[in-house]
Copies of this chain bind each other. A is one copy, B any other.
């Protein structure tokens, strides 16, 4: 595997001169070689300045060349797949099949962004030709396009060590936009980060991309804080806890020059079951829900954490099947010891509330066939009533891990009062039959206000990487609901418009020239067209 524990700075793998640390196998508790060196303030500064220097050449590459770079990263990752998945499995405890799927998603994202920038219309070109005869004064020619912001600091997420990490969606969308990336490796999977960084470095060399365009530094929150405050950094992408995300947001906002932070932080993803659905889909709903809560050991941003279930005839059957699903599940390994202890205390904050009953994880549950993981926890759920839910704020907070809270509601009014308790969410899900549709229509406006993605008769886990995806939502699910971190629209986080007034063709970027040599969809005089701009009247 040739892991060295190095940082990637200015195109070279170099030893971090800060503290050293090692990764831990969460299944066995064993320390994994090698040891990694954190980057110092000076090393971070070197990487940031190299990113700044590389920005000017990188952003001016034609889209096709940046696309080749993204595609080369994807190909390099595929050719390094075997050792990568092996190391990643050791560092995260995630099974090879899941990691293989996640790698496919990661390379798929890179290729999707490559296609977007190869095609080029994402730059939202707008052309308003001159009106030389306008009274009282002629109107000048105005043309605008999007250009990249500058170097972006990306924080790796623990729960998707490939798709939301070194070469994940934040990195792919920033590189696609034309921004260099300073990546802070996640300390829970530093070897995975190094292997991916090596793939990126090989792709950069192959495509003659300037060495400063991608850097990777190891470290914890202190290293992250230095990154966010560095003057060369122009934006931040982060996926992680609410506490860490808010700290980054506050640091970015208090800079002499504040910068945008796209942090995806916290969501309980309310799942509403309406009476018709509960009545007709009782067992399938219980089983699907349990599977969604436990998927990836419950460590998905979109895990349904609070489930609103109507009281009535079918409730007992529903809960009995939930009991069965949870009680028959094996203990599930969490990604880190830290996540394990946070899970145990967050779950306790919920289950110790009056009128909250823990279910599913009885001590008589069958022992798992697999050996118990070092970070293993028993999946469980709890049941409460709307009154307790509305009274106790802790019940609407995220418990990161395999745990869900079922809230029984007696009427649409009680459901409405429960909905008032939720903060901003990534997703909101409805289970409904056609008989429930009038209620769905009534609920939709509230759910739209609450969340970035609404799901009907499905489960929120599983985030498709498509242009129509919104993986984002009102605070605290993210720090800016106007953007998504998944799907091709994620590129807009890292770009800004610039307008050219009264420039001759020769001095304009090709995308803005009359002839439209790149065949872009452009907004010409307010109308989207792919045609060339007609020659001005003489």
**A residues bordering B, Cβ < 8 Å?**
56, 59-60, 101, 115, 121, 124, 126-128, 136-137, 139-140, 142-144, 147, 149-150, 249-250, 253-254, 257-258, 260, 423-424, 437, 440-441, 444-445, 448-449, 451-458, 462, 464, 466-470, 472, 474-476, 479-482, 484, 488-489, 492, 495-504, 506-507, 521, 523, 526, 528
The one of B124, B440, B462, B470 that contacts A497, using a Cβ cutoff of 8 Å: B470
Q: How far is the CA of A121 from the CA of B529 in the complex (A)?
A: 13
Q: How far is the CA of A500 from the CA of B462 in the complex (A)?
A: 14
Additional 19 contacts, C-beta under 8 A, given A257-B423, A458-B501, A472-B496: A101-B136, A126-B489, A127-B468, A128-B469, A137-B462, A140-B458, A140-B464, A142-B464, A147-B448, A253-B253, A444-B507, A454-B501, A456-B501, A456-B502, A468-B499, A470-B498, A482-B495, A482-B497, A488-B526
Q: Check B507 against A440 for contact (C-beta < 8 Å).
A: yes
Q: Check A507 against B437 for contact (C-beta < 8 Å).
A: yes
**With A150-B449, A501-B455, A528-B528 in contact, do A143 and B468 touch (Cβ < 8 Å)?**
yes
Q: Check A467 against B128 for contact (C-beta < 8 Å).
A: yes
A-B contact pairs, 20 of them (CB 8 A): A115-B526, A128-B464, A128-B466, A144-B468, A149-B481, A253-B258, A258-B475, A258-B479, A437-B507, A440-B507, A452-B496, A452-B497, A456-B500, A456-B504, A457-B502, A470-B497, A472-B496, A472-B497, A482-B495, A488-B526
* Chain B minimum-CB-distance residue to A55: B449
Q: How far is the CA of A101 from the CA of B501 in the complex (A)?
A: 22
Q: Check B528 against A121 for contact (C-beta < 8 Å).
A: yes
Min CB distance A489 to B, Å, is: 7
Q: How far is the CA of A479 from the CA of B480 in the complex (A)?
A: 14
User: Which 3 A-B residue pairings sit nearest by Cβ, starting from the closest?
Assistant: A253-B253, A126-B468, A470-B499
Min CB distance A499 to B, Å, is: 4
**With A445-B60, A467-B526 in contact, do A456 and B253 touch (Cβ < 8 Å)?**
no
Q: How far is the CA of A458 from the CA of B475 in the complex (A)?
A: 43
User: Main secondary structure on chain A at its contact with chain B?
Assistant: mixed
Min CB distance A110 to B, Å, is: 16
The one of B441, B500, B504 that contacts A454, using a Cβ cutoff of 8 Å: B500
The one of B257, B449, B468, B474 that contacts A128, using a Cβ cutoff of 8 Å: B468
Q: How far is the CA of A121 from the CA of B449 in the complex (A)?
A: 21
Residues of B near A492 (CB, < 8 A) are 482
**With A147-B448, A260-B482, A481-B149 in contact, do A502 and B455 touch (Cβ < 8 Å)?**
yes
Residues of B near A254 (CB, < 8 A) are 250, 253
Q: How far is the CA of A224 from the CA of B521 in the complex (A)?
A: 41
Pick from A456, A468, A523, A526 the residue with the most CB of B within 10 Å.
A468
Min CB distance A117 to B, Å, is: 13
* Chain B minimum-CB-distance residue to A136: B101
Q: How far is the CA of A101 from the CA of B134 in the complex (A)?
A: 14
**With A437-B507, A500-B454 in contact, do A480 and B260 touch (Cβ < 8 Å)?**
yes
* Chain B minimum-CB-distance residue to A134: B464
**With A253-B250, A455-B501, A455-B502 in contact, do A466 and B528 touch (Cβ < 8 Å)?**
no
Q: How far is the CA of A455 from the CA of B127 in the complex (A)?
A: 15
Residues of B near A445 (CB, < 8 A) are 56, 59-60
Min CB distance A486 to B, Å, is: 10
Q: Check A469 against B507 for contact (C-beta < 8 Å).
A: no
Residues of B near A475 (CB, < 8 A) are 257-258
Q: How far is the CA of A462 from the CA of B437 in the complex (A)?
A: 52
The one of B147, B476, B502, B521 that contacts A528, using a Cβ cutoff of 8 Å: B521
* Chain B minimum-CB-distance residue to A424: B257
Q: How far is the CA of A489 from the CA of B495 in the complex (A)?
A: 14
The one of B149, B479, B482, B499 that contacts A452, using a Cβ cutoff of 8 Å: B499
Q: How far is the CA of A455 from the CA of B144 in the complex (A)?
A: 12
* Chain B minimum-CB-distance residue to A119: B526
Q: How far is the CA of A507 from the CA of B136 in the complex (A)?
A: 49
Min CB distance A316 to B, Å, is: 28
Residues of B near A115 (CB, < 8 A) are 526
Q: How far is the CA of A260 from the CA of B481 in the complex (A)?
A: 9
Min CB distance A393 to B, Å, is: 12
* Chain B minimum-CB-distance residue to A253: B253
Q: How far is the CA of A142 from the CA of B487 in the complex (A)?
A: 11
The one of B453, B457, B458, B507 that contacts A499, using a Cβ cutoff of 8 Å: B453
